[in-house]
């Protein structure tokens, strides 16, 4: 397998198709950033020529390979709601050999990636898509989507301390943005809270509750932006209809409506 040459100077990108990293992201291989890293590592080939730079374009009929395996052309953008149970990690390959979300769903879905993550012991709504570019876009705080959780904590929450989270908090030098935390119920030594945030940093809810002296014993994501967990059963997966997808996604990433010819 030879290395790809640099693209011709002055070539019109519009005539050369779609940039390889974006194509790989839409095909659900990885986010665009991770796809660029794969390119830098020499793991991607176009028409049996190893690519050495991201300024490569894919046109219909081209054959793209990652690690020697042919990648199917991107399907239309699709999104699924999944009720993740505790005990699964949100990664494609776990070095510790723990069961993963993607292993569990391999027989039910095409190649997908997650929009954000839920850790091993967390439950609830996990969005899955076949479009890596969409996943990256929806994870960004700039999208403005609220992530909402039901959280069971051990201890007696201080209403003033919870209210203070609306101003943000700094823990171990890390600044967390405004968080809404409401006390729903107390039962014995435990309490249930509803926690809403927009950033979604790694283990953010658990770290902030621990900072308040309230260790989390259960965490369930019930909403991610306009998409709700609702009555989806644990372990259940359901595709979001294309019409709703177009209505709810930001205009710059929403899939186009099918033409009359496409609708048949």
Q: Convert the pLDDT of each residue in 220-260 to its tens digit.
A: 999 999 999 999 999 999 999 988 988 887 665 666 565 44
DSSP3 helix / strand / coil % (the chain, rounded to 5): 25, 30, 45
Architecture of domain 79-141+226-240: 2-Layer Sandwich (3.30)
Q: What is the homologous superfamily of the domain 2-70 according to CATH?
A: RNA-binding S4 domain (3.10.290.10)
CA distance 173 to 155: 25
pLDDT at 251: 65
What does the domain layout of the chain look like in residue ranges? 2-70, 79-141+226-240, 146-224
pTM for this model (two decimals): 0.74
pLDDT at 262: 43
CATH of domain 146-224: 3.30.70.1560
pLDDT at 216: 97
Q: Convert the pLDDT of each residue in 118-164 to its tens digit.
A: 999 999 999 999 888 788 888 887 788 899 999 999 999 999 999 99
CA distance 65 to 129: 21
Catalytic residue among 3, 75, 119, 182: 119
Q: Convert the pLDDT of each residue in 47-105 to its tens digit.
A: 999 997 788 899 988 999 999 999 988 778 899 999 999 999 998 888 898 999 999 99
In whole angstroms, how far apart are CA 67 and each of 38, 50, 138, 169? 9, 10, 28, 43
SS3 197: strand
What stretch of H or E contains 24? helix 20-26
Active-site residue, 67 included: no
């Amino acid at each position: 397998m030879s290395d790809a040459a640099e693209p011709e100077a002055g070539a019109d990108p519009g005539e050369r198709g779609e940039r390889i990293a974006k194509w790989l992201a839409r095909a659900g291989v990885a986010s665009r950033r991770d796809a660029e890293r794969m390119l830098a590592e020499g793991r991607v080939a176009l028409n049996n020529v190893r690519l050495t730079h991201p300024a490569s374009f894919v046109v219909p009929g081209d054959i793209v390979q990652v690690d020697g395996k042919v990648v199917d052309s991107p399907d239309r953008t699709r999104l699924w709601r999944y009720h993740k149970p505790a005990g699964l990690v949100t990664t494609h390959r776990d070095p510790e050999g723990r069961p993963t979300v993607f292993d569990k769903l391999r027989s039910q879905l095409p190649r997908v990636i997650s929009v954000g993550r839920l850790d091993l012991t967390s439950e609830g709504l996990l969005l899955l898509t076949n479009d890596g570019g969409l996943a990256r876009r929806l994870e960004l705080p700039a999208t403005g989507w609220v992530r909402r959780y039901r959280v069971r904590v051990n201890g007696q929450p201080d209403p003033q301390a919870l209210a203070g989270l609306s101003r943000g908090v700094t823990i171990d030098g890390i600044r967390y943005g405004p968080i809404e935390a409401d006390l729903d119920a107390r039962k014995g030594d435990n309490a249930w809270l509803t926690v809403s945030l927009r950033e979604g940093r790694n283990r953010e809810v658990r770290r902030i509750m621990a900072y308040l002296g309230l260790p989390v014993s259960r965490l369930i994501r019930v909403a991610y932006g306009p998409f709700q967990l609702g009555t989806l059963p644990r372990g259940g997966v359901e595709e979001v209809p294309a019409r709703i997808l177009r209505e709810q996604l930001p205009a710059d990433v929403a899939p186009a409506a099918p033409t009359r010819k496409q609708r048949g």
